[in-house]
Amino acid sequence: MGMVAVSVLILQSHTFVYAGDATLSWDPNTASDLAGYKIYFGTSSGTYGTPIDAGTQTTYTVTGLAIGPYYFAVTAYNTAGNESTFSNEVTKTFVDSTPPVVTALSTSGITGTDATITWTTNEAATSLVEYGTTTAYGTSSAPDNTLVTGHTKALSGLAPATTYHYRIKSADAAGNLATSGDNTFTTTTAPDTTPPVISVVMIPCS
């Protein structure tokens, strides 16, 4: 049996954070003893893992592929188990196009001038808090470009007894940015630090 007469094409690909699909199609082999096709793929050119038996169909979707480049080739095999050489190789790179998922957003340590914002992301990402007395925010924490899944930002210099609006922003290594909805917290009243004033005491003359 001769080589697969094929031009392998990636018809569709869907990208997700952790997985992708590649739909391949190829020209049919016309040998009378054709038994089926095998799909080979791997993360480097010409180096493939265990093949997938696609049966006699000429379209197949490989699923669950991680982020990064993949290389694909197809062979045909006959009823005696003889296998053709590889078809032409095609490649597809899956990229991360999904922002991090933000959960467990909360505030703690609220005083008259300070507050701490914490949150988590489902993948390592940067940390930034925008805040202000309106939903226009206007002030940002110092950006932290360290990629982490547990985030903490301390805010200081706040006005006492004031309601603040805030939102967080976290970007993953691919630059996909997650922005939370609006949240609020209220600082406490400033403590009274003014000592009492003692009036002049008059001692009446007897």
CATH of residue 51's domain is 2.60.40.10
CA separation for the pair 181, 94 (Å, rounded): 29
Ramachandran sector of residue 78 (left: φ over 0; alpha: ψ -120 to 50; beta: rest): beta
Strand order in the sheet with 90-94: 52-55, 34-42, 68-78, 90-94
Q: Judge contact between 73 and 51, C-beta under 8 A.
A: no
Q: Residue 4 domain-assigned? A: no
Q: Which residues contact 75 (CB under 8 A, 6 or more apart)?
A: 4, 37, 38, 40, 51, 83, 84, 85, 86, 87
DSSP calls for 127-159: EEEEEESSTT--EEPPPEEEEEEEEEEEE-SPP
- The beta strand positions in the chain, using DSSP E, are 9-15, 20-25, 34-42, 52-55, 59-65, 68-78, 90-94, 102-108, 115-132, 139-140, 144-155, 163-171, 177-179, 183-186
Q: Which residues is 20 bridged to in the sheet?
A: 15, 65
Structural domain that includes position 58: 9-94
Q: Residue 202 domain-assigned? A: no
Q: Residue 3 domain-assigned? A: no
Q: Residue 198 domain-assigned? A: no
Q: Residues 76, 119: one domain?
A: no
Q: Residues 42, 65: one domain?
A: yes
What's the total number of domains in the chain? 2
Tell how far CA 171 is from the center of its chain.
8
Model pTM above 0.75: no
The one-letter amino acid code at 69 reads: P
Tens-binned pLDDT, residue by residue, of the chain (206 aa): 444 444 444 444 444 444 588 899 998 888 899 999 999 999 999 999 999 999 999 999 999 898 889 999 999 999 999 999 899 899 988 888 889 999 999 999 999 999 999 999 999 999 999 999 999 999 999 999 999 999 999 999 999 999 999 999 999 999 999 999 999 999 999 766 777 777 666 777 66
pLDDT digits (tens, 9 = 90+) for 19-77: 588 899 998 888 899 999 999 999 999 999 999 999 999 999 999 898 889 999 999 99
Q: Residues 67, 134: one domain?
A: no
Nearest alpha carbon to residue 94 among 17, 147, 8: 17
